[in-house]
Amino acid sequence: MLAISFENAGDPEVLKVVEIEKPIAKKKELIIKVVGAGVNRPDLLQREGNYPAPLGHSKILGLEVSGYVDTIGKDVKGFKIGDAVCALVNGGGYAQYCKVDERQVMHAPKNLNFYESAAIPECFFTCWANLFDKGAVKKKEKVLIHGGSSGIGTSAIQILNYFGIENFVTVGSEKKKIMCKKLGATLAINYKKKDFFEVIKLKTAKKGVDLIMDIVGGDYIQKNINLLSNEGRLINIAFQNGSTANINFIKVMLKRLIITGSTLRIRDVKYKQKIRNAIVKNIVPGIESGIIRPVIDNIFEFRNVIKAHKRMYSGKHFGKIVLKFN
Which structural domains are found in the chain, ordered by start?
2-122+265-324 (3.90.180.10), 135-261 (3.40.50.720)
Amino acid type, 241: N
pLDDT digits (tens, 9 = 90+) for 32-76: 999 999 999 999 999 999 999 988 889 999 999 999 999 999 999
Could you give the CA distance from residue 284 to residue 186 in angstroms, rounded to a whole number? 23
Q: Over the range 79-109, which residues count as b (16 or more CB within 10 Å of their CB) and which as e? A: beeebbbbbbbbbbbbbbbbbbbbbbbbebb
Q: Smallest Cα–Cα separation from 83: which of 52, 116, 114, 47?
A: 114
pLDDT value for 56? 87
Residues of the chain with pLDDT under 50: none
Amino acid type, 309: H
DSSP-assigned letter for residue 314: H
| 143 CB-near residues (< 8 Å, 6+ apart) | 131, 137, 156, 160, 165, 166, 167, 168, 209, 210, 211, 212, 213
Helix axes 151-162, 174-183, angle to 10 degrees: 30
| pTM check: above 0.85 | yes
Task: State how beta strands 84-88 and 64-72 pair.
Answer: antiparallel
